[in-house]
């Protein structure tokens, strides 16, 4: 299946996506580097141990020894955690052959056309017609609301499902999860910042226990004295405070870049999904119908990470209210612009 036939507009969009991704990676690396610098007090024992073995480790090597594994673990943990959290936050339940045979058949058929392994499918009981795809370290889950299934059927439903499968093929969910990592930290929404489970608390306590003897290189006091304990607590507090300031400052450009990336990837998924079905007009009609749907009358809570992933920026229930840092950034292009591009694609295919 050929997903796309690039035009000059699409090549420009591809360059924009590449440039935005590069900028996000640069910001993330800068944050990781600055946070790793805060760990310098704990790196001294590495140099001492290496010297005892007759090996000389330059400071840069010791720094990288913490930075590289740390970034890798954080990225993997964020992907694993975000998928579980987002599905739980909207109370998504798996679709089965008994409950939704037609929906599963549509997803399988379109995935076969796209040469994709069919993703898992889940249903959210919500009147808001919407959809999104969550990706992680292994596999993806395509989520639709009961409101979407009530509002669309036939070619229009196929068009929306094809759009979501384009996100699966492009690994957009995983990319956007990593792109929104810094804003998520500042919003205090992850277990890394505020542990809300026994495992999270145990992880924090483990880090404090391991760090206690390692801080001896910079804490000038007997290891098990009250003075050492007090200075160790002060050192940890200072690192957390400075780290929070660094992340908070750099989360602003990261949030803006993530919004731009999300908007561009919606355009790309619109085109790829329309080419998959060969019917851009159906996706345009589906977007037009859904965009005009009445918003929920209640003040629905929302997840910023989920907002980047949805077909349309309509809210539906989340288990967490916005806390701390917030920055209002558009996560989707206007529906009018998306429809205009799809109609241009229709003319291109017919011409």
Q: Which of 305, 8, 31 is nearest to 178 (CA)?
A: 305
The reported pLDDT for the residue numbered 120 is 93
Q: How far apart are CA 110 and CA 157, in angstroms?
A: 11
| Mean pLDDT for the chain overall | 78
Q: Is the pLDDT of residue 189 over 60?
A: no
Q: Is the pLDDT of residue 129 over 90?
A: yes
More confident residue, 294 or 72: 72
- To the nearest whole percent, how much of the chain has pLDDT over 70? 71
Q: Strands 120-124 and 140-145, how do they pair?
A: parallel
Q: What is the pLDDT of residues 218-254, one digit of tens each?
A: 788 888 889 989 988 898 888 888 877 887 788 788 8
The reported pLDDT for the residue numbered 89 is 77
- pLDDT category at 300 given cuts 50, 70, 90 is very low
The percent of the chain in helix, strand and coil, each rounded to the nearest 5, is: 65, 5, 30
* Least confident window among 2-11, 74-83, 193-202: 2-11
The reported pLDDT for the residue numbered 151 is 94
The strand order across the sheet containing 93-94 reads 93-94, 120-124, 140-145, 131-135
DSSP code per residue over 52-116: HTT----HHHHHHHHHHHHHHHHHHHHHHHHHHHHHHHTT-EE--TTT-HHHHHHHHHHHHHTT-
Q: What is the pLDDT of residues 256-291, one digit of tens each?
A: 888 888 888 899 999 999 999 999 999 999 999 998
The reported pLDDT for the residue numbered 320 is 45
- 119-144 average pLDDT score: 88
Domains of the chain, residue spans: 8-350
- pLDDT category at 154 given cuts 50, 70, 90 is very high
Q: Is the pLDDT of residue 94 over 90?
A: yes
- pLDDT category at 306 given cuts 50, 70, 90 is confident
The reported pLDDT for the residue numbered 50 is 63
The reported pLDDT for the residue numbered 101 is 96
């Amino acid at each position: 299946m050929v997903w796309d036939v690039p035009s000059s507009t699409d090549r420009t969009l591809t360059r924009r996506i590449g440039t935005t991704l590069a900028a996000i990676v640069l910001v993330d690396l800068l944050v990781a580097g600055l946070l790793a610098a805060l760990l310098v007090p704990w790196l001294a024992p590495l140099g001492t141990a290496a010297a005892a073995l007759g090996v000389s480790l330059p400071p840069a090597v010791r720094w990288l020894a913490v930075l590289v594994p740390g970034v890798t673990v954080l990225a993997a943990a964020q992907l694993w955690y975000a998928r579980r959290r987002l599905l739980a936050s909207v109370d998504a339940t798996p679709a089965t052959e008994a409950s939704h045979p037609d929906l599963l058949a549509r997803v399988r058929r379109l995935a076969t056309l796209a040469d994709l392994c069919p993703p898992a499918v889940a249903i959210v009981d919500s009147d808001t017609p919407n959809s999104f795809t969550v990706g992680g370290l292994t596999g993806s889950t395509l989520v639709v609301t009961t409101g979407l299934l009530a509002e669309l059927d036939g070619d229009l439903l196929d068009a929306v499902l094809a759009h979501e499968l384009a996100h699966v093929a492009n690994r957009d969910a995983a990319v956007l999860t990593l792109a929104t990592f810094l804003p998520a930290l500042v919003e205090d929404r992850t277990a890394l910042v505020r542990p809300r489970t026994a495992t999270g608390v145990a992880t924090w306590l483990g880090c404090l226990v391991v760090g206690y003897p390692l801080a001896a290189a910079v804490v000038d006091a007997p290891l098990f004295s009250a003075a050492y304990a007090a200075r160790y607590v002060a050192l940890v507090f200072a690192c957390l405070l400075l780290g929070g300031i660094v992340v908070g400052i750099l989360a602003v450009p990261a949030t803006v870049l993530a919004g731009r990336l999300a908007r561009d990837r919606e355009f790309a998924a619109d085109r790829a999904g329309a080419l998959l079905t060969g019917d851009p007009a159906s996706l345009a009609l589906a977007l037009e119908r859904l965009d005009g749907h009445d918003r929920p009358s209640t003040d629905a809570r929302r997840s910023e990470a989920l907002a980047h992933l949805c077909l349309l920026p309509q809210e539906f229930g989340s288990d967490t209210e916005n806390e701390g840092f917030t920055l209002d950034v558009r996560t989707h292009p206007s529906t009018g612009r998306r429809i205009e591009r799809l109609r241009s694609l229709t003319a291109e295919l017919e011409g």
